[in-house]
Amino acid sequence: MSRITLMLVLVLCTALLLAACGGGDSSDSSETSNASDPTPAAAVPKTPQTFVIWHPFADARRDALETIRRDFEIAQPRIDIQIEFHPPDTLRADFEAAVYAGAGPDLLFGQTDWIPPLASQGLIQPIGYTLFENYTNIVTESIAYSTLVDGIPYATVYSAEFVTLYYNRTLLDPAPNTYDDLLLEGGALGLLIPPTFAATSGLYLSPGRQLMDEQGHSQIVEFGLETYLRSLQDMDRWRNIRFTFENIEFLEGRAAMLIASSTDYLTLYNALGDNLGVASFPLVGNDRWSTLLTVQPVMQNLNSTAAALNASHLFIMFLNQAKTQREWFIATGQTPVNPALLDNSTLSAAWGDSIEFGTAAPLLDTFNSAMRPVLDQAVQAVVLHDIDPAQAASSAYAALQSMSN
């Protein structure tokens, strides 16, 4: 679906939803939100308004969300947010039951693989045109378009996870900026890589390859898969490049570089301090490294009134602005989708590149339950067991095709 078509669909969806909710609310469109939200998604309500959030957080994210709520209510004193915790194992079922009963929260912090079934059941509603237009002003297209169902966005995203290239400044500075340099420096000084598809996804996705369509059919091409696996096996031939789940050599200064999750940053920084460097991934030929992005979404209840939606849209914009994203990262260690104001400008730039050029993981649960394990097994076959890449690709391709049938 083209962007123009998408915008037209969003306009139509917004108009229909507002009509279904009885039009609008008693807000004054001449008012603007607090200066910390330079691109408000909705008008500030003239009268007090309450909306409800459900979440599954039982760790630092719970306290961080509560802090953000308090900061938002200071910025928007007419809006009151009610936050409810629901156990992760029951959150989706609780939400479905509540919505079918005509109730439920206005915003749901859930999982990406819930989006397609909840959308098909009509339990969540698409993002309206005004919110989407403002939201895309502060996050990249890779994030904004990561929650499409039939070409329509059904959620916003507040956090993500993806692999990051870390390096030890006492052993290497600056980091390599081409793939050939990555191999040379890794071969000489050490590079540790988890033997998973997510960790090495840039070498498959960077030429623009796709993983899965919206119906769950594999889009993996056997020749492309073999080429990718062969590049991993060739990388493994370098003396000091190792595929391993352990990072102790990096922490002890015996390996100069490490590919690991973005959520490992605070742990690694606590170990290495300012000697920890973070770099953008190098070019793969003429292509930008496109790593796999796993995102955390916020969905909108079908039953929400126009007034509650208006207030919740202001909160979504507040949650995604750079200042709030910085505070979320400091409090939780979870990767922001808007890293512009992180204290470390190098980290901000590296994560900004990974997000901008990344590829969002497919929404369907079959990606994590079926496709990803097959790809992980293929990676481990060639780098841990020295299986011929053509054989590993053929086996994986057959398994993926069987999954699609």
Assess if residue 286 is contained within a domain: yes
Q: How confident is the model at residue 37 (pLDDT cuts 50, 70, 90)?
A: very low
Sign of CA dihedral 92, 365, 309, 315: positive
Same domain, 134 and 246: no
Assess if residue 356 is contained within a domain: no
Inter-residue contact 139 to 321 (CB < 8 Å): no
Give residue 39's pLDDT: 43
**Interval 345-380: pLDDT, tens:** 999 999 999 999 999 999 999 999 999 999 999 999
Q: Which of 1, 313, 292, 325 is nearest to 130 (CA)?
A: 313
d(CA 224, CA 378): 13
Give residue 187's pLDDT: 97
Same domain, 372 and 329: no
Q: Which residues contact 389 (CB under 8 A, 6 or more apart)?
A: 226, 229, 230, 232, 233, 382
Same domain, 179 and 249: yes
Sign of CA dihedral 243, 244, 247, 253: negative
d(CA 253, CA 178): 23
User: What is the domain range of residue 221?
Assistant: 163-290+364-404
Residue 232 sits in a domain whose CATH number is 3.40.190.10
Assess if residue 172 is contained within a domain: yes
Same domain, 189 and 262: yes
Query: How large is the average pLDDT for residues 42-55?
Result: 88
Same domain, 225 and 340: no
Same domain, 113 and 34: yes
**Interval 290-315: pLDDT, tens:** 999 999 999 999 999 999 999 999 99
What is the rounded radius of gyration, in angstroms, for the C-alpha atoms of the chain? 22
Share of the chain above pLDDT 70, in %: 89
**Interval 104-163: pLDDT, tens:** 999 999 999 999 999 999 999 999 888 999 999 999 999 999 999 999 999 999 999 999
Assess if residue 264 is contained within a domain: yes
Same domain, 172 and 111: no
Domains contained in the chain, number: 2
Assess if residue 179 is contained within a domain: yes
Query: How large is the average pLDDT for residues 85-103?
Result: 98
Same domain, 188 and 53: no
Query: How large is the average pLDDT for residues 233-255?
Result: 97
Assess if residue 349 is contained within a domain: no
Q: For 293-344, where are the alpha helices, taking DSSP H only?
A: 306-320, 322-332
Assess if residue 359 is contained within a domain: no
Same domain, 20 and 75: yes
What does pTM read for this prediction? 0.88
Assess if residue 84 is contained within a domain: yes
Same domain, 237 and 302: no
Torsion angle of alpha carbons 184, 274, 251, 161, nearest 10°?
-80
**Interval 311-345: pLDDT, tens:** 999 999 999 999 999 999 999 999 999 999 999 99
Inter-residue contact 14 to 306 (CB < 8 Å): no
Give residue 398's pLDDT: 96
Same domain, 369 and 319: no
Same domain, 100 and 123: yes
